[in-house]
Amino acid sequence: MIRRAVPTEWEVLRTRCELCRACELGKTRTSMVFGVGKTDSPILFVGEGPGQQEDLQGEPFVGAAGKLLDEMLSIIDLGRDNCYIANVVKCRPPGNRDPREEEQAACVGYLYEQIRLIHPKLIICLGRIAAGVLIRKDFRITREHGQWTQKNGVWYTAIYHPSALLRDLNRRPETFLDLLAIRDKVREICPEVYGLMQS
C-alpha cells in the first residue's frame, strides 16, 4: 500500500497560492512569491508585493529594496532566520505599480491565513499599502510611522518601505529611530528572539 503524507496547512496554503488566478496578476507573473523566514516567529514583516527580482527568484525582498531591508534588520539583530517576511499580494504588479484595490482584496485572505499560522506577536508593515490593509484603511505613513497599536493581542506598527528609503534619504534618520523602537518592543514582548529570558 502506498502511504501518502498528509500535507501540512502551510503546504496546502502554498499550493492554493500557486494555483490562484483570482486576479490578473496571476496571469502575468513568473513566480508566486509566498514568503520566507521562520514560520513560528513572533515577528512578521509585511511588504506590498513582489518586484521584478522577487518575481524572477520567487522570494520576497531580494532586489535593491530587499538588500536595504536586510541591512535594516541587521541593525536590530534580526534576519530572515528569526522573523517571517511576506507581502500583501503574492504576484508581481506589472511595471512595479501599486497593487490595485481589487488585487489586494483577492489576495489578502492568503496573508490572513499566514498570520493565523505564524501567530506573530508583532507585525511590522513596510510602507503605506501594508499599513492600509493591516492597521487602518486611511493610515498616513508620513504622520503615523513608528506608532504602535494593539489589535486582538497583536502589536502593529509601520515604517517607511525600503523602496521609499532608497528614493528619499531624508527619511532614513526617522526610520532608524523606528527600528530602535522595534528592537525595544521585541525585547519587551518576545525577548526570546534575542536569546533573552523573560524575568
- The residues that touch ligand URA, with contacts defined as CB under 6 A, are 47-51, 54, 60-61, 65-66, 87, 163
Nearer to ligand URA by Cβ, of 42 and 48: the residue is 48
**Closest by Cα among 123, 122, 47 to 87:** 47
What is the Cα–Cα distance from 143 to 157, expressed in whole angstroms?
A: 12
What is the Cα–Cα distance from 89 to 147, expressed in whole angstroms?
A: 24
Q: How far is the CB of 119 from ligand URA (least distance, A)?
A: 22
Nearer to ligand URA by Cβ, of 31 and 176: the residue is 31
Closest-by-Cβ residue to ligand URA is 47
Q: In this structure, what C-alpha cell is assigned to residue 78?
A: 534580526
Nearer to ligand URA by Cβ, of 37 and 50: the residue is 50
Nearer to ligand URA by Cβ, of 133 and 190: the residue is 133
Three-state DSSP at 150 gives: strand
What is the Cα–Cα distance from 105 to 168, expressed in whole angstroms?
A: 29
Q: CA angle, 59 as apex, 147 and 185 as ends, to 5°?
A: 25
Q: How far is the CB of 115 from ligand URA (least distance, A)?
A: 16
Q: How far is the CB of 64 from ligand URA (least distance, A)?
A: 9
Phi, psi (deg, nearest 5) at residue 33: -105, 100
Q: How far is the CB of 48 from ligand URA (least distance, A)?
A: 4
